[in-house]
Each structure stands twice: as structure tokens, then as C-alpha cells.
Structure 1
Amino acid sequence: MQTNITESLRQSPLGQEAESILRKCVHCGFCLATCPTYNLTGNELDSPRGRIYLLKQLLEGDPVSQLTQQHLDSCLNCRACETTCPSNVQYHRLLEIGVPLVEQEVPRNLKQRLLRTAILNVLPYRNRFTRLLRTAQAIRPLLPKALSNKVPARKLTTTAAKQTQAALQRTMLVLEGCVQPAIDPDINAATTRVLNKLGISLITAPKAGCCGALSYHLNQQQDGLDFMRRNIDAWWPQIDQGCEAIIMTASGCGTTVKEYGELLKDDPHYAEKARRVSKLTKDIVEVLSQEAIETLPINTTASLAFQCPCSLQHGQGLAGSVEALLSRMGFELKSVIDSHLCCGSAGTYSIFQPELATELRQNKRRTLERSGADQFVSANIGCISHLSEGADRPVRHWIQVVDTALE
């Protein structure tokens, strides 16, 4: 793609990076077929190629409007287009550079600013979010149905394996995250029990918190980078002591932590540490895939349909890995059509774009139900919560199903 970006941007590192990304796009249109929003609206400006043109116009100094912002906001950042793109266009990175520039030109209205401020001051902070969620759960019966459906029922952690840490020679860290401990604390508890059976001790760093994705993707990029630095500081003592890996049980967080090295590459104090953290970071499926999981006594009776989160298949490039592992363990996997399409959760997307998110959720629920599986499983707390909203059959994390099969 030919570009003529403004001189001031051309002289900046971000402008040079954006121009390099733009020049890779060859207008082929392969991305249109895999874009969830284009599939819904049929509007090219709701496709990656259309949004790239909008960002190109911005970078070349053309005026932008609220319509520009709306088309960019409707992007799920699912990265399906990047998986499809033959030119390896880093579309998500172009968004990260361009969207804040749009926001400078088109300030958001008061309602949007208040909502974003509320989210940024609650969701990334585990204690704040937990208190708010527990209050909502306590008054859930009094809430209107539309609102009560959005409040997940409280889930308790089942008894953890009673195995002494001293008996286990291998040690790994796990990110607790910000919302998962409140919504479903049993996910990490189940992970601990499964790994204990393989001789691996799972530990946490109390001062680690939000991975930084939420703030970073809501155009508070410096706040997001600060969350990343705090996590690195919290993990570093265990890393120095030889911690084998940093495990992610939420694939959305895993995608971000694996990018710490790139996002902090220009920070002289954290660049090297960030690279090491990213190298150590593994989704739980990557860890278990390397273990002799077949040696464990597994009782597999239910058939499963796996909803592969975008962050796992497109962000981390691990499409098919969970299905392969579960098949190795003896589970019956049912195929899910259009498995590459987003469920509509996409971090805070379901909050800001409820109509599109609801339609995508309905489509994904239909494909899961058509699979004929006994249980639906996923790998990301956002997808699990979104798909379980108001559903007769909730979605669980696949590691919980493995844990149950081992009991």
C-alpha cells in the first residue's frame, strides 16, 4: 500500500512503525471472510481492510469523525485477520497506534468517558471488583432479569489437593488475574490439583495482578504498561530462584503477557526482564502437552465441544492444541463449525458493543449446540462468562473438566 503520512508522524518511531505496517497491506481482501463484524454488517468499513484505510487517512492528515471512531470501536481485536493475512500485516498493532490518535481528534462524550473511567477503576483491581461482584450477587434476585443475567452466580473453590509443596521438585508460577478469582476461583484451583498429580507445585505472587491488557486496549497505554511492570517485579524473585514457567489459565491474559517483551522493549529498566517473562509464559495447555498426561487415571464419559478463544488461536497461535490434548486423554471431541469466529466477549467489547456482542454470542451458542456435545468448554474467563450468560448449559474451563475426570 502506498502511503503519504504526515511529516511529523514520519519522524516519530510510532509513525515509522505504522507506515511499515500499512505498506505490507496489498488489499487482497482475504481478511474479509474471517472478520466477525464484517460477516454481521456487510460493511467494508467494519472489516480489517476498511479500518486500515480509515487509519491510513488519519495518518495522512485527513480529518476523522465520530463515524471513523465507531468503525474502529466495533473491531473485536480478535486477530482472526492476522491469522488469515498472507502479508503478515500486524493489524492489531496498527490499531494500538492509531486509535489513541483518533481519540485525540474525536473526544468521547460524557457517558462514554464515565463508563470507561468506571471500568478502568474497578475491573483491573481484584479486590475492588470482587467486592462489587459480591454485592451484585447478594442482591441478584432483586435485579431486573436483563441485569441479573449479567451477574454470574457465585462459585466456590473446591478442596485443593492436600499435597505438601516440599514433596514436589518442580515449581511454576500462575497468574491469578483480576476478575477470574472472583468469577470462578476453581479454575486455578483445578489447575493446581492437576499439576500436583504430575509432581508440579503451583505458586502465586501476591503482588501480581491485572496483566495490563484492559487498560492498554482502552487507550490508557501507560497505565497498562505500569501493570506489566508491577507483575514483572512481583514475579522476579521466583524467576531468580528457578521457577520453570509462568502459567496462564486465561488465554486473554496469556496473549498479553507473551507480548511483554515487545511492549516494553524500549524500557531500559524492564526490557530484558520483560523478554524473559514472555519466554517463560505458557498457557496451561502448552505445559500439559509436554507431560505424560496419559499416565493419570482419567474417567472420560462426556463428549466435549471446545470453543477456542481468539486469544488462544489467533493471539497465541495455539489453534487445535486443547483439542489435541483432550483427545490424547481420551475425551470425545465434537467439531464446532466456524470455530475461527469470535464469541463476542473480547475483553470489554460486550460492554461497549452489546448488540454486536449479543449476536456473536447467539451464533456461537448455536454452533456449540449443533455439535451435539454433552459439555461446552473454553479457555478464557471472558468467553466463559459471556457464553454462560442466561444459558441453560454454562461453559466451563476445560481444565476443570480434566480435574473432575481425575477425581
Structure 2
Amino acid sequence: MQTTLSEEAKRLPRAEEAESILRSCVHCGFCNATCPTYQLLGDELDGPRGRIYLIKQVLEGNEVTEKTQLHLDRCLSCRNCETTCPSGVKYHNLLDIGRAVVDAAVPRPMGQRLLRDGLRAVVPNAGLFKSLTRVGNAFRPLLPGSLKTKLPGQVRPATARPTQQHARQVLMLEGCVLPALSPNTNGAAARVLDRLGISVKPIAQAGCCGAVDYHLNAQKAGLDRARRNIDAWWPAIDAGAEAIVQTASGCGAFVKEYGHLLRDDPAYATKAAKISEMTRDLIEVLREEPLEKLGTCTSQKLAFHCPCTLQHAQKLGGAVEAVLTRLGFNLTSVPDGHLCCGSAGTYSITQPVLSTQLRDNKMRALESGNPEVIATANIGCQTHLAGAGRTPVKHWIELIEDALH
């Protein structure tokens, strides 16, 4: 679409990128057909095309209002629209640029600022988050229902990881909320990889991937976390690690963006590009291995929820399902599998009404085939769906480990 950036917008660090993305949009509206918030609200401004117009107006120097901010806040960043778009519009990058400009122009109410600052202080801090989760579970009966659903029920404790060192080694991001919400997931991944002759080397200094800060519009803080992770991983990469493996597809999607987001940083551009190139979702590693040697024995009936960060951001839709089928699992059909469950990082906290509607719609779809269990590939989706208190929800790698004999 024709775009004329204001003089102020032309001075933005990502002005050229924003203009290029805007010009690539042909305003066909195909994106609205698969946008979860447009389907719920039916408002053009709550679909990708409408949000692109809003950002265009802002960058052309038009007035920025709280209404503009609201419509951008309501976006899940699920990137379903990017999968649908025939023109290849990089909507998520434009959204990041637009949100930063809008937030700089429109001060948020005190309540929103405290909520967002609180999330940024707690969620990326693995130790603090784990401690607060334990306290929350201890006082669970006293908590309001809305908060109870954010806490895990019965947490499967982590068990010992393999100590044998194989010639092949990968790194694994432990994550910020995973150790508290699903502490056995990374251990299960390490044990399954061990049986395939691959050692997992944890790097304690590598913390939160940076997505929480970045998507709450603390973009500088998010990129600083990315730089710290790069520094933490680099010695092991120099020593021969072949990949950086993620069990949370949300983290994997963001780490794969390091190269793009730090491309103009002279100190980190080359390393960031290398990190993104080496980053693999766990399924990308596992599907290339001789899985038959695992010796699984199961016909368990399950429904697989493919997170948006796996199918739309990483373009790995169908990959986990194919591996589970190879290993003998009985997968049920899931209607509208492309739609977001409503977790979307911290969205379930900042937009609870829309998030709950999307979760309930997703649970109905997942349960339509009467599965014994629901599997997924992202800790945020896992916790969000489990909060419905219905069919059990687990990470797919734990189901594979349970099926080993």
C-alpha cells in the first residue's frame, strides 16, 4: 500500500523496515479470515489489516490515541495472518515497531503499568518465579479462581538426567517458567536424546530468552537478555555444540529472531545470526533420528495442540504429529487447529476475557475426538489449557518418554 512516513517516523531505527512491510501489504483482507480476535470481535481494527492501517496512520504522523493502543494490545502476535497472507507481509515485525511508537506516545494507566512491570520483574526471573509459584500453591485454597488457573496443579517433579557424555552435544535453554511449571520436561528431552546418542549440555548462565520483556514493549531489555544468552552459549558453541535446542516453541521462535533483531548491532550481529541458525525446536532434532531404536510401545489416544509459535512462527506445523504417529500414538482430528489457544505469552493475564474465550473454544476442538490426553509443545499453552481443569495437558516429549520400554 502507498505509504509516506512522517519526518519523525523516518528517524526511527527501523523506519526503512516499517515502510517496506507497509508497502508489501495489498490490503486483500485474507488475513482477517484466520485472525482469532477478528473472529471473536468482528471489528476491522481487531484484525491484521485494520491494525496495519492503524500503524500506517501513526507512522504517517496522524494522532495516536488510547483506542489505537487498545487494538494493538488485543493482538495475540500469533502470526496466523502471516501463514495466510499471499504477499508475505512480515506483520509481527511491523507490530513490534508500531507498538513501540504508540506506547511512547500514549502513557498507560497506573494499573496497566504496575501489571506489566510486575510481569517483567517476576516471569523472566526463574528463581523468583519458582518461589512465588510454590507460595501460590501453598495458599491455593485461598486464591481467587482467576489466579488458581494460572498455577499448575500436580507438578511432575524432575528426575535425574543422564551423565554419559556422547560425541554429539547440544545446548538446551532451561527457560524462565518451565522449571517451575513443568520441571520434568527438559529432563525428559535429555533422557530421550541420550538414548539416541546425543548429550544435552545445560548452560546455567543462559536465562529467559527475552520474549517476555520484548513483547511487553521493553524491547531494549529483551535484547539485552538476548545478548547475555549469546555470551553464555558462545564458549560451548566454539567447543563444538551442534545445536541450541528448545522444548518451548515460544522461546525457540524468539531465539530464531535474534539474528534479525540484532542485525544492526556491530558487536553481536554475526554471533546473533549464528545463534539463530543453530537454534532448533526439539522436534527438528528428533524427527531426523532413527526413532525406531527408542522402542516405544503405545496406542495412546491423544489430541495435539500445535502452538502458534510452532506452526506459524517456525513453520513446523505437522512435524510433532508425524513423529507421534511414527511412534504409535493414535492422534485424533482437531478442528480449526490453526487457531490460537489464547495463551500468547502474558496475553492470558493482560487480556483475560479474550484469552479465556479462545481457550474454551480450543478445548472444545481438542476434546471433540475424546482423547485421553492433550499434548502440546509450549509451556505457556500447556499451562493455559490445563487451567480449564478438564482433559490432562502434557508436553509431547514426556508422553514419548512414558512410552519407552
Query: What interval of TM-score do these two structures reach, taking the shorter chain for normalisation?
Result: over 0.9
Residue number in structure 2 paired with 1:253 = 251
Q: What code does the residue aligned with 1:39 have?
A: Q
Separation (CA, whole Å) in 2 of partners of 1:180 and 1:335: 28
Partner-residue secondary structure (3-state), 1:313: helix
Deviation at 1:402, TM superposition (A): 0.2
Separation (CA, whole Å) in 2 of partners of 1:199 and 1:354: 43
**2:55 maps to 1:55:** yes
Q: What code does the residue aligned with 2:157 have?
A: T
Closer, same or farther in 2 for the Cα pair 1:115/1:11, shift >3 Å? Answer: closer
Separation (CA, whole Å) in 2 of partners of 1:57 and 1:73: 17
Q: What code does the residue aligned with 2:30 have?
A: F
Residue number in structure 2 paired with 1:376 = 374
Deviation at 1:117, TM superposition (A): 0.8
Match of 2:391 among 371, 390, 393: 393
Deviation at 1:270, TM superposition (A): 0.9
Partner-residue secondary structure (3-state), 1:368: helix
Separation (CA, whole Å) in 2 of partners of 1:31 and 1:396: 31
Deviation at 1:371, TM superposition (A): 2.0
Separation (CA, whole Å) in 1 of partners of 2:293 and 2:102: 54
Q: What code does the residue aligned with 1:135 have?
A: V
**Alpha-carbon contact 1:160-1:192 (below 8 Å) kept:** no
Deviation at 1:13, TM superposition (A): 4.3
Deviation at 1:140, TM superposition (A): 0.8
Closer, same or farther in 2 for the Cα pair 1:227/1:158, shift >3 Å? Answer: closer
Residue number in structure 2 paired with 1:21 = 21
Separation (CA, whole Å) in 1 of partners of 2:103 and 2:8: 18
Q: Deviations over 1:272-298 (max 9, x none)?
A: 111111111100000001100012211
Q: What code does the residue aligned with 1:150 have?
A: K
Residue number in structure 2 paired with 1:164 = 163
Partner-residue secondary structure (3-state), 1:121: helix
Q: What code does the residue aligned with 1:221 have?
A: Q
Deviation at 1:160, TM superposition (A): 3.0
Deviation at 1:300, TM superposition (A): 1.1
Mapping of residues 287-306 of structure 1, within 5 Å: 287-306=285-304
Q: Deviations over 1:223-269 (max 9, x none)?
A: 00010011111111110100011100000000000111111111111
**Alpha-carbon contact 1:157-1:189 (below 8 Å) kept:** no
Mapping of residues 73-84 of structure 1, within 5 Å: 73-84=73-84
Match of 2:280 among 279, 282, 305: 282
**2:321 maps to 1:323:** yes
Q: What code does the residue aligned with 1:307 have?
A: H
Match of 1:353 among 345, 351, 365: 351
Partner-residue secondary structure (3-state), 1:406: coil
Q: Deviations over 1:88-142 (max 9, x none)?
A: 1111100111111111221100000111111111111111111111111111122
Q: Deviations over 1:72-95 (max 9, x none)?
A: 100000000001111111111001
Residue number in structure 1 paired with 2:143 = 143
* Same amino acid, percent of matched pairs: 57
Partner-residue secondary structure (3-state), 1:188: helix
Separation (CA, whole Å) in 2 of partners of 1:146 and 1:67: 26
Separation (CA, whole Å) in 2 of partners of 1:159 and 1:13: 46
Deviation at 1:151, TM superposition (A): 1.8
Q: What code does the residue aligned with 1:320 have?
A: G
Separation (CA, whole Å) in 2 of partners of 1:57 and 1:359: 30
Separation (CA, whole Å) in 2 of partners of 1:176 and 1:143: 28
Separation (CA, whole Å) in 2 of partners of 1:2 and 1:298: 56
Partner-residue secondary structure (3-state), 1:330: coil
Q: What code does the residue aligned with 2:248 have?
A: A
**2:121 maps to 1:121:** yes
Dislocated runs of 4+, deviation >6 Å: none
Q: Deviations over 1:163-190 (max 9, x none)?
A: 4323x22111100010011111110011
Residue number in structure 1 paired with 2:267 = 269
Residue number in structure 1 paired with 2:92 = 92
Q: Deviations over 1:358-403 (max 9, x none)?
A: 0000000000110222211000000000000041322100000000
Match of 1:365 among 363, 366, 380: 363
Separation (CA, whole Å) in 1 of partners of 2:297 and 2:53: 52
Closer, same or farther in 2 for the Cα pair 1:63/1:405, shift >3 Å? Answer: same
Q: Could you tell which deviates more after superposition, 5-14 or 291-300?
A: 5-14
Separation (CA, whole Å) in 2 of partners of 1:147 and 1:252: 22
Separation (CA, whole Å) in 1 of partners of 2:233 and 2:154: 29
Separation (CA, whole Å) in 2 of partners of 1:309 and 1:146: 23
Separation (CA, whole Å) in 2 of partners of 1:400 and 1:156: 10
Mapping of residues 190-269 of structure 1, within 5 Å: 190-269=188-267
Residue number in structure 2 paired with 1:31 = 31
Residue number in structure 1 paired with 2:130 = 130
**2:119 maps to 1:108:** no
**Alpha-carbon contact 2:303-2:333 (below 8 Å) kept:** yes
**Alpha-carbon contact 2:382-2:395 (below 8 Å) kept:** yes
Separation (CA, whole Å) in 1 of partners of 2:158 and 2:112: 39
Match of 2:310 among 309, 312, 320: 312
Q: What code does the residue aligned with 1:73 have?
A: D
Q: What code does the residue aligned with 1:182 have?
A: A
- Paired residues in the alignment total 405
Separation (CA, whole Å) in 1 of partners of 2:12 and 2:214: 20
